[in-house]
Amino acid sequence: MIGYLGIDVGSVSTNLVFFDDCGVIRKSIYLRTRGKPIDTVQKGLKELGANLPSGTKVRGVGTTGSGRHLTGVIVGADAVKNEITAHAVASSLLVPGVQSILEIGGQDSKIIILRNGVVSDFAMNTVCAAGTGSFLDQQAGRLGIPIEKFGELALQARSPVRIAGRCAVFAESDMIHKQQMGCSLPDILAGLCDALVRNYLNNVGKGKEILAPVVFQGGVAANAGMVRAFEKALDLKVQVPSYFDVMGAVGAALLAREAVARKGASSFKGFEVADMDYQTGSFECSGCPNLCEVVEVSENDRVIARWGDRCSKWSNAVGAKIS
């Protein structure tokens, strides 16, 4: 089998996708990053290698997410792209003609506006936890329900309550107040979904023209209550595509295919990366008043990358043996 690999390393999850030459996704892997991006990527590569047919050839690899640069150095990426580009490319493939992408992840949320297949506008929110997956996880835990059941219960609401959603602290206080008033759990959960959607549209989507087709992706798209809340607020059909939770990785793989087509060969180091020893560290350069913090990555005791220096004194000098 021949195909392309996409890796999306975020603060909450690390996702890997492998699709073949025909564009069929053969394997997708979703892992919790848990603050260990290198270990998680290695674990994902090992799992992926074990689940693909013997002799599978990776023709190209792309990385995206907040850990894209680090991961790109480790695996030998052919394309290292931001999340906006990766999500837009993936959505355009799976939902042809998409014009609006709503994406809510574990720690942030974003909106991407496409017109004629090109990104024309976007916005991100990383300021407040309200409206992100981590806040929903927290509230599900506080209420004693599995996060997987959140959406199912929210759909059972008869009269969703009004909850202040502009701030995570206010939202939680309001939920507790509604519980003490005797409101039912489904009504509270549905009210929370409505509040988070209002928060998203008033902050991330402010000033944006949201046109159909509308795609909802990211881990929170698994929550049916959130899907319904978006449809109610927008008065539009909201589509949740296949592989909604690993769309960044799908986009990274597609971008890798384009990159390899241009340059002719892949830089991928192979699945043996999963067994290599990597170390990361940082030091302060005192060569000038900038006092740059330089981060370095080493592979089997050999420096393979440095970044953080404004003058490139250290980043251009890699490959030296660590003393």
pLDDT the model gives residue 244: 92
Concatenated DSSP letters for 96-151?
Answer: TT--EEEEE-SS-EEEEEEETTEEEEEEEE-S-STTSHHHHHHHHHHHT--HHHHH
Region 271-286 average pLDDT: 92
pLDDT band for 320, please (50, 70, 90 cuts): very low
94-98: long-range contacts, CB 8 A cutoff, minimum separation 24: 94/241, 94/242, 94/243, 94/247, 94/250, 95/213, 95/215, 95/239, 95/241, 97/213, 98/213, 98/214, 98/215
User: In this structure, which amino acid lies at residue 137?
Assistant: D
From CA 173, how far away is CA 19, in angstroms rounded?
A: 45
pLDDT the model gives residue 131: 65
Q: In this predicted model, what pLDDT tens digit does every residue of 232-246 receive, in sequence order?
A: 999 999 999 989 989
β-strand partners of 9: 14
- 96-240 shares the fold of 2-88+248-275: yes
Mean pLDDT across the chain: 89
Q: Which of 25, 170, 172 is nearest to 93 (CA)?
A: 25
Q: Retrieve residue 44's tokens.
A: 């994902």
From CA 321, how far away is CA 11, in angstroms rounded?
A: 31
β-strand partners of 278: 299
pLDDT band for 323, please (50, 70, 90 cuts): very low
CATH topology of domain 96-240: Nucleotidyltransferase; domain 5 (3.30.420)
Q: In this predicted model, what pLDDT tens digit does every residue of 65-91 receive, in sequence order?
A: 989 999 999 999 999 999 999 999 999
From CA 74, how far away is CA 261, in angstroms rounded?
A: 22
318, pLDDT greater than 80 = no
Structurally, what CATH architecture does the domain formed by 2-88+248-275 represent?
A: 2-Layer Sandwich (3.30)
Region 154-174 average pLDDT: 82
Beta strands in 164-252 (DSSP E): 214-217, 238-239
Q: How many CB atoms lie within 10 A of CB 277?
A: 9
Region 99-122 average pLDDT: 91
Which residues, including other chains, have CB under 8 Å from residue 310's CB and lie 6 or more apart?
A: 290, 292
Q: In this predicted model, what pLDDT tens digit does every residue of 130-157 receive, in sequence order?
A: 667 778 888 888 888 888 898 899 999 9
Sign of CA dihedral 297, 298, 304, 306: positive
Half-sphere exposure of 170 (CA within 13 A, CB side): 12
CB burial string 207-240: b at 16+ within 10 A, e below = ebebeebbbbbbbbbbbbbbbbbbeebbeeebbb
Q: Which helix (H) or strand (E) holds 224?
A: helix 224-234
User: Can the peptide bond before residue 53 be classed as cis, meaning omega within 30 degrees of 0?
Assistant: no
Concatenated DSSP letters for 58-75?
Answer: EEEEEEESTTHHHHHHHH
Q: Are strands 238-239 and 79-80 parallel, antiparallel or unpaired?
A: unpaired
Give pTM, 2 decimals. 0.85
Task: Give 162's DSSP letter.
Answer: P
From CA 63, how far away is CA 251, in angstroms rounded?
A: 9
From CA 239, how far away is CA 217, in angstroms rounded?
A: 9
pLDDT the model gives residue 84: 93
Q: Where are the domains of the chain?
A: 2-88+248-275, 96-240, 277-323
pLDDT the model gives residue 127: 64
Q: In this predicted model, what pLDDT tens digit does every residue of 195-252 receive, in sequence order?
A: 889 888 988 998 899 999 999 998 889 999 999 999 999 999 999 998 998 999 999 9
pLDDT band for 253, please (50, 70, 90 cuts): very high
